[in-house]
Structure 1
Amino acid sequence: MTMTVADLADLTLRLCAIPSETGQEKELADFVEARARAAAGDAAVWRGGNAIVCLPRPAHGRPTVALVGHLDTVRCAAEQRLAVLDGRVFGCGASDMKAGLAVMLALLAEWPHLEEGPVCPAWIFYDREEGPYVDNGLEAVLDSGAVPPLELAVILEPTDATLQLGCLGVLNAHARVTGRRAHSARPWEGDNAVYRALPLLRRLAGVPVREVRVHGLPYYEVISVTQAWTETPANVIPDAFHLNLNVRFAPGRSLDDAWAEVRMLVGAEADVELRDAAPAAPPFADHPLLRDWQRRAGLEIRPKQAWTDVARFAARGIPAVNFGPGETAQAHQANESCSLALLGRAYQALRLLFRPDET
């Protein structure tokens, strides 16, 4: 059974109508589990917490490719519409990533047809992707033993139906510049930590964007101050000024190397500690399955200028890529939406991954 674009739009809208803010994914997980069991049978479905793995049939020597998607969204905006209008689906999480989930469920409904191809399909749905790195539900799924050996994982994050390879690594560091407290009416009795931080802030602002090419793809390394705060009342000269430094680094670079550069950049002007970090992922541009699929489907290749869960797969030696119908510019927007044209394009492209004979 092949779904029409209208079918995909209706399914996306139905998924958007089920609230699934991070930590509140149970209702959507129940919906997905019921669809998976109806499509593939109880024996094919594993559930752990709010995560679901579906393997309709063993691989029997064929390579297994998993379609992967997170169930959660960020908090919905009050003005968010829920409708299909002007060639778009509007709804909370429409692009990130309920359109991707709709494509996954549409393909799951026709698994017997996909199963006839040279690649064995599997599905992984998981929770808590939009929250802290350490709480991400995918890690528990990969540790559960429910996931079969994989040749490739395709994460249906928003990519505008382009094939986005690899991902940046990310770390957050807390820098603390110290001064001396005083009453704000007599600032000369203190040493304002905010002013003491100005040389460091100027230096950070002057760090150039660095282009790094991996397999011919340009990734851009950047460092940004994303938070700045004091902890003193409004009438007190602050004795400490706090900064969050957000660092993005290219595939091929280690966490240790990126962290060493941050410490060197900050120098003696602040105390700095690592808050959290996640590794980069290589692009896997030479993977044979990937090359063949990209050619048959005519997919545009881009680098992923962000972090995604492809890095979790890569850390376990599993090639993974980003490909989904959602639009990167729509993710987390106040009135989020997704293009119907991209929904149809992503659906047809992924069918070709499993049934290359239908080119």
Structure 2
Amino acid sequence: MLSPEILADPVELTRALVDVESVSGNEAALADQVEAALRGAPHLSVERHGNVVLASTALGRPQRVVLAGHLDTVPVAGNLPSRAEGDLIHGCGTSDMKSGAALALHLAATVAEPRYDVTYLFYDCEEVEAERNGLNVLARTHPDKLAADFAILLEPTYGLVEAGCQGTMRAVVTATGQRAHAARSWLGVNAIHAAGAIMTTLGAYQPRTVTIDGCTYREGLNAVRISGGVAGNVIPDECRVEINYRFAPDRTEAEAAAHVRGLFPDFEVEITDSAPAAMPGLDGAIAKEFLDVVGQPPQAKLGWTDVARFAAAGVPALNFGPGDPNLAHKPEEHVEISKIRAGAATLRRWLAA
């Protein structure tokens, strides 16, 4: 269990969280430990919804902030238990994002009178499909739990503020043909050959670069999977190309879908998955106060994160965490101890000022 001594040290707490395996769908044991640790803090009100654990202060402050982090990881790749080596902690989830979750849990346990009222939110299934995402489920079933004036998602940012996030969309573009015997191919129409026009469009595509509030978002449109063919002696009548579109926050999901469809007017386009972008959220007074404490200019989040869920709920949100996002999901995933300590100090200066 998470003793007071472990909760007081964000580095040891990171290792303790990492050593409880919590691949998406298997977070219950870790959620149990987080819940027990939070219930041991008399200044917090704690509740649990499935494997989502919330702890809140009720000090009558005029503003409320949220510190949020997911408890799950991608599948283990021979990188558990954790191990320390110099300034590094190695292990599954060290960067994405148990070091970030450890900061939230550490502050929840050790800052009894923050300058804002705080909701600490730990959730499950971030690394899998959106309908299972614990924050998404909470937003649907208990939207009042996300109510706040500002939120920080403790995703890995290497100690910098990454503002907003790109939207992400998956679509399947289908080329059709006519099936025939390969020995009499002139009697058919080869759908795989027809898909060449899809690939040509993708290869020639020039993605936008969009700057919003000083943060530059780089879009991308790429084929990620292709399937087609029936047998070695059959002219195929269908070829499906799956594409992924990463779009800047100045486009809505509907606008992004229209853009994708417009690129392939001669083909069937099915949008199979979509998540909205989030604007940088830098205008509010709380965000500016936090940026002043960090002391570094914000950058665009080149990827999708759950800040978009807070933005959809009307809560401006930023990404800030000690891990290196370039190490997320890798077998060699690790986090720097110095980044954990610096992140904890930054958040403490901001909350306890």
TM-score (norm 2): 0.93
Alignment-derived partner of residue 52 in structure 1: 53
SS at match of 2:162: strand
Identity %: 36
Give 1:274's aligned residue. Answer: 271
Matching of residue 217 in structure 1 with residue 199 in structure 2 = no
Give 1:11's match in structure 2, choosing from 9, 13, 22: 13
Return closer, same or farther for 1:11/1:233 CA change in 2, 3 Å cut-off.
farther
1:346 aligns with 2:343: yes
The alpha carbon displacement at 1:200 in A equals 1.7
1:196 aligns with 2:197: no
| Residue 26 to residue 167, structure 1, CA distance change in 2 (3 Å) | same
Cα separation, 2, equivalents of 1:263 and 1:145 = 33
Contact 2:7 2:105 in 1 (8 A): no
Question: Where do 5+ consecutive residues of structure 1 fail to align?
Answer: none
Distance in 1 (alpha carbons) for counterparts of 2:190 and 2:80: 43
| RMSD, aligned α-carbons | 2.1
Equivalent of 1:176 in 161, 174, 177: 174
CA spacing shift, 1:61–1:15, aligned 2, 3 Å: closer
Aligned counterparts, 1:296-335, within 5 A: 296-335=293-332
CA apart distance, 1:5 = 12
Q: Which residue of 2 aligns with 1:88?
A: 88
* Aligned-partner SS, 1:289: helix
Residue by residue, what CA displacement relative to the aligned partner does 1:225-244 show, whole Å, maximum 9, x if unpaired?
11111252344332111111
**1:13-34 deviation per Cα after TM superposition (whole angstroms, max 9, x unaligned):** 2211111111111111111111
Partner of 2:69: 69
Give the C-alpha shift of residue 171 in structure 1.
1.0
Partner of 2:161: 163
Match of 1:130 among 127, 130, 142: 127
- Separation in 1, partners of 2:345, 2:152: 14
Match of 1:78 in 2: 78
1:240-255 map, 5 Å: 240-255=238-253
Q: Which amino acid aligns with 1:173?
A: A
- Cα distance in 1 for partners of 2:190, 2:143 equals 54
Q: Secondary structure at the match of 2:121?
A: strand
Report how many aligned residue pairs link the two structures: 349
1:216 Cα deviation from its structure 2 partner: 1.9
Give the TM-score normalised by the residue count of structure 1: 0.91
Preserved CA contact (<8 Å) 2:6 2:13: no
Amino acid at match of 1:29: A
Higher mean C-alpha displacement, 230-239 vs 287-296 = 230-239
Whole-Å separation in 2 of the counterparts to 1:232 and 1:245: 22
- How many angstroms does 1:78 deviate by? 3.1
Task: Note closer, same or farther for the CA distance 1:89–1:238 as it changes in structure 2 (3 Å cut).
Answer: same
Q: 1:303 to 1:183 in 2, by over 3 A?
A: same
Q: Separation in 2 of the partners of 1:191 and 1:69? A: 51
Alpha-carbon separation, structure 2, partners of 1:144 and 1:173: 30
Any gaps of 5 or more consecutive residues in structure 2? none
Instruction: Identify the residue that residue 290 of structure 1 maps to in structure 2.
Output: 287
Q: Which amino acid aligns with 2:193?
A: Y
In structure 2, do the counterparts of structure 1 residues 62 and 148 end up closer, same or farther at CA, with 3 Å as the change threshold? farther
Q: How far apart, in 2, do the equivalents of 1:146 and 1:317 lie?
A: 11
